[in-house]
Amino acid sequence: KNQVEQSPQSLIILEGKNCTLQCNYTVSPFSNLRWYKQDTGRGPVSLTIMTFSENTKSNGRYTATLDADTKQSSLHITASQLSDSASYICVVSDSNYQLIWGAGTKLIIKP
Amino acid sequence: DAGVIQSPRHEVTEMGQEVTLRCKPISGHNSLFWYRQTMMRGLELLIYFNNNVPIDDSGMPEDRFSAKMPNASFSTLKIQPSEPRDSAVYFCASLRERVGEQYFGPGTRLTVT
């Protein structure tokens, strides 16, 4: 069964600190993996999209990694800011363009 | 571009009433998605269209839900009759190519009393 699991469910860190969010998937065949940021009361916004051949992709202070062999991805946030407080959702697409959504990690940045 | 436009932004209705949610995708995008988000179940795909044709509606919960896309610039999601368990935020999203980046609208918060 195609599944996307994220950890931790929630995370609280102090402003300025780094953090890493995890995503494990069992989707096959794999097409691409996306990370979204969703602010409270808003729709998700895409941060990165990675295909099978890409190991890492950065978007400002956000860096996503992908290990297609172990079917794991991570999202690393550097020097966190209060505006990073949001839910981060991992989404994996199969070859039929079906998107399988993870439950998300709720990140809270405290001053 | 104004992005994906959804209306209304908020809808409060009584159980049994018909509800129609509207979406205007980004111009030039040929795929459109309807999602529902609740605290309990997270983000769920209800249906998606490609070139105005419904491709996968397996996420539509039951016959009370229906979606149409009469042209490339407009789609509706209808619930008839509505029930309290339909209360959720409904998002519409569009993308240009099937593997491209998906852009979400601001959502419609539906409350059924």
| Cross-chain CB nearest to A43 (options B44, B98, B105) | B105
Among chain B residues, the shortest Cα distance to A47 is held by B101
Give the model's pLDDT for residue B79: 97
Beta carbons of B99 and A45 less than 8 Å apart = no
Q: What is the CA radius of gyration of chain A?
A: 13
- As a whole number, mean pLDDT of residues A9-24 equals 97
- pLDDT-based confidence at residue A72 (cuts at 50, 70, 90): very high
Distance between CA atoms of residues B110 and A56, nearest Å: 38
For residue A74 the two structure tokens come to 């991570």
The overall average pLDDT reported for chain A is 94
What are the average pLDDT values for consecutive 10-residue runs of chain B, which has 113 residues?
91 97 95 91 89 90 94 96 96 82 93 97
Interface of A to B at Cβ within 8 Å reads 31-32, 34, 41-46, 49, 89, 93, 97-99, 101, 103-104
Residues in A touching B94 (Cβ below 8 Å): none
Give the model's pLDDT for residue B97: 73
Q: Are B69 and B77 in contact (CB under 8 A)?
A: no
Beta carbons of A43 and B107 less than 8 Å apart = yes
C-alpha distance from residue B4 to each of A77, B24, B25, B74 (Å) = 28, 6, 5, 10
**Which residue, among A27, A38, A10, has the nearest Cα to A73 in the 3D structure?**
A27
**Which residue, among A2, A7, A64, A62, has the nearest Cα to A31 in the 3D structure?**
A2
Give the gap in angstroms from C-alpha A103 to the nearest C-alpha of chain B.
6
